[in-house]
Amino acid sequence: MIELPDLVAGGLAAGTLSALALGGGVLRLRRQQTRQRAEIAALRTRLDGSSRAFTAEVEHLAAQRVPAAARQVAHPHLAVPGPLQPLTVGTPLGIGLENVLLALQSEVAAQRTRVDAAAQAGMRGAVREIQAALYRLQDALRGLQQRYDDPELAQTLFRLDHENEQSLRRAQVAAVVCGAWVGLAREESHLVDAVTGGQARLAGYRRVRVHNHLEAGTALVSHAVEPVAIIVAELLDNALRHSSPDTDVVVSLEHVHHGVCVTVDDAGLGMTRDERDRAQRLVAGDGLILLTDLGDPPRMGLAAIGRLTRQFDLGVDVSSASPYGGVRAVLRVHSHLLSHLDPAARPPAASAPRTTRRAVPDRPPAHAYGTETGGPEAPPGHHEPEDAEGLPQRRRRTRAAAAPAQAPSHRPARRPEEAAAALGALQSGTAAARADAENAAGNPAADHIDPTDNEGGTDR
């Protein structure tokens, strides 16, 4: 038998071993708890850092990147700041933030387009009413011009008619920019008549010198007449406004391989590279044109040119410098927009500059009469005797038959009246206006109108 002391000793030994084992387990558990607490603390630190970094990134997105992205829609040259932490680029967080900016820009662009379309629709309706009122005023003025022969009254009517003509041009340009049609239907016309018609719509038209090097009878198809006149008027207006009043603006009409070019050269300030690039983008008509991109107040001339070049397959280039120090603008009229008129049956307006290409070899060149660059300002007396037989339709027979005895005595007093009719001939687009232009016999309104050159907006 085992003695009691042995049993007690054995129990004590077993208890001691059990206690030691339990103590070791407790120590291990405490160590594990300590490690776990350290890991938890580290995780909390990292989580707090990540949370703060994410919060800072979102705040940076809202305060800096979102406004910059919205501005970039209207001004593409502006840069959008990147994330605060470059390491987030390419991560799910970085990709998500970039998607936010892209969605924002897409929505802002859509909203800008919708708002601008509504603004254009409103302006288009208002301009339509203004145009109708101006056309009624134009008809009333021309009726007074035909009714009264008093020279002083006629001179006043001419000034009013020319001012009305300029208002019509501005309203027409605004309508074109807002998506309206050009507004006038024309028959085929001599290209030089379209050029001088655009010239006659300007305040400083007396400074324009037109060199016509086209073959006699070079004309435009009917739907291209008014767009060409509008484009030429805007290019000339831009050249006149940005050049000194004592300098001329030179216009040259030349045949090229694929049609005709109308070149406008001024001796003005010129443009910087950025201004030239922006102007070329506008006249090309490739991008979306918004009123909010045209300044305050809106400068619509180049934008209207861009609309017309896209609609009528014309080409305009303003990327070159003029040899006179200013800007060279070139309007290209392609062959499919050109036609031919018999210059004997349907001669150009008497005020139009003569072509340097003469169909009749024994006739003296245009410069012999001093009218090569005359345009609306060319003295009709220089060439009228030479062309009396060649231009039998220059005067209306009905008026001559009605008062054959009075025509010679009243001729000097009626020059202002005839000049106003010639000045507005290409504006009305009606048969009556064309008849008035043919009856004008080349008398310019420049002798009676002294407009200024620096009114209205600018496109540079």
H or E element, residue 219: strand 218-220
Among 426, 424, 354, 421, residue whose Cα is nearest residue 390? 354
Distance, CA of 160 to CA of 339 (rounded, Å):
35
Identify the domain boundary among 44, 72, 89. 89
Match 């020279």 to its residue by tokens: 151
**pLDDT tens string 105-155:** 999 999 988 998 898 899 888 988 998 999 999 999 999 988 888 888 988
255 and 160 assigned to the same domain: yes
Same domain, 22 and 163: no
Round to whole Å and give the CA distance between 285 and 458.
Answer: 18
Residue 454 lies in a domain: no
Indicate whether this model's pTM tops 0.75. Answer: no
Whether 392 and 430 map to the same domain: the answer is yes
Q: Is residue 453 part of a domain?
A: no
What is the SS3 assignment for 238? helix
Do 187 and 276 sit in the same domain of this protein?
A: yes
Residues (pLDDT < 70) of the chain are 1-4, 6, 49, 183-185, 358-460
Please tell me whether residues 84 and 132 are part of one structural domain: no
Do 326 and 442 fall within a single domain? yes
The answer as to whether 81 is a domain residue is: yes
DSSP secondary structure letters along 155-188: HHHHHHHHHHHHHHHHHHHHHHHTT---------
Residue 196 C-alpha from the chain's centroid: 21
285-315 pLDDT, tens per residue? 887 888 888 887 888 999 999 999 999 999 9
- CATH number of residue 373's parent domain: 3.30.565.10
Query: Residue 159's domain spans which residues?
Result: 116-447
> What pLDDT was estimated at residue 417?
43
Task: Kindly state whether residues 333 and 431 are assigned to the same domain.
Answer: yes
Residues 23 and 132 in one domain: no
Burial of 33 from C-beta contacts in 10 A (0-12 / 13-18 / 19+): exposed
The span from the CA of 303 to the CA of 293, in Å, is 10
Task: Give CA 412 to chain center in angstroms.
Answer: 43
Q: Residue 448, CB half-sphere, CA atoms under 13 Å: how many?
A: 25
Single residue among 40, 71, 89 that ends a domain in this structure: 89
Rg value, the chain, Cα: 39
> Within this chain, do residues 140 and 253 fall inside the same structural domain, yes or no?
yes
User: Are residues 161 and 85 part of one domain?
Assistant: no
58: in domain = yes
Structural domain contains residue 350: yes
**Distance between CA 66 and CA 99 in Å, rounded?**
11
Q: What is the pLDDT of residue 379?
A: 35
What backbone phi and psi angles, to 5 degrees, belong to 322? -80, 145
Question: In terms of domains, do 330 and 432 share one?
Answer: yes
For helices 407-428 and 151-177, what crossing angle results, to 10°? 10
Q: Is residue 94 in a domain?
A: no
Residue 392 lies in a domain: yes
Res 233: pLDDT: 94
Q: Do residue 359 and residue 294 come from a single domain?
A: yes
Residue 456 covered by a domain: no
Contacts for 270 with CB less than 8 Å, ≥ 6 apart: 321, 322, 325, 326, 327
Using the 3D structure, point to which of 89, 105, 140 is the last residue of a domain.
89
As for how many domains the chain has, the answer is 2
